[in-house]
Copies of this chain bind each other. A is one copy, B any other.
Amino acid sequence: MARKPDPDKKRQIVEAATQVFAGKGYAAARVIEVAEAAGVGKGTIYEYFRSKEDLFFAVFEDMMADTDSRISVTIATVSGSAADRLRAVADAVVTAWLPKLDRYALVMEFWSAATVSPLRRRFKESFQQAYDGFRRVITALLQDGMATGEFADDIDAHKTASALIGTWDALLLQAWLDPDFDPLGASRAFVEVLLNGLRSKKIKEPS
């Protein structure tokens, strides 16, 4: 019987693993469950991944790449005032994640794994990289606004960007916890307050 070679099998497994890990968490997830979800035999997993942990990392990288690309696309596409671009990015981040809030649990899992696993370094680095990349984008955006006079010139762009990124992170977390929470609304309201603050000329120095 000729076996149809399936070059997508790896992807198939990663996707199944994403579902399973998101649903039950890494520790509680069983390799056999991933295999079943992927519609392959248990042994097949090990044809493509050295170990469960390796598979986990593959899921992680897949997710990071996915998120990353969405943001990049948004940044590249939008034009207009710095404020408008910030609004667009904010909306892009939140809406990119909203439909897959169920996978948000995975992010927690990744953090958690970053504490524990021999992979911790890889995870942490990847996370930092992602954060740094994103922060750079936001920082640049803010500095752009400052350069054009749209924003006040005494803003610490880097720190503000850091905080802002964290805000989105946390809004999504709250949405995951509470299905009634409206992260997009909160994000928008918050961004407006922020933009307002950014535009003002006088910023009181932190004591």
Chain A residues engaging chain B, CB cutoff 8 angstroms:
2, 22, 24-28, 41, 43, 87, 105, 108-109, 111-117, 124, 127-128, 131, 155-156, 159-160, 162-171, 173-174, 177-178, 181-182, 185-198, 200, 202-207
Are B196 and A200 in contact, with the CB atoms below 8 A? yes
Are B112 and A178 in contact, with the CB atoms below 8 A? no
- Give, as a whole number of angstroms, the nearest-CB distance from A33 to chain B: 13
**Who on chain B is nearest to A125 by CB?**
B177
The residues of B that contact A166 with a CB separation of less than 8 Å are 166-171, 173-174
Are A162 and B177 in contact, with the CB atoms below 8 A? no
Report which of B131, B159, B178, B186 forms a contact with A189, defined as CB distance below 8 A. B159
- Give, as a whole number of angstroms, the nearest-CB distance from A107 to chain B: 8
Cα A111 to Cα B173 with chains together (Å): 9
Question: Are A193 and B192 CB-contacts (below 8 A) given A159-B186, A162-B186, A167-B167?
Answer: no
- Give, as a whole number of angstroms, the nearest-CB distance from A162 to chain B: 5
Cα A136 to Cα B173 with chains together (Å): 17
The residues of B that contact A187 with a CB separation of less than 8 Å are 163
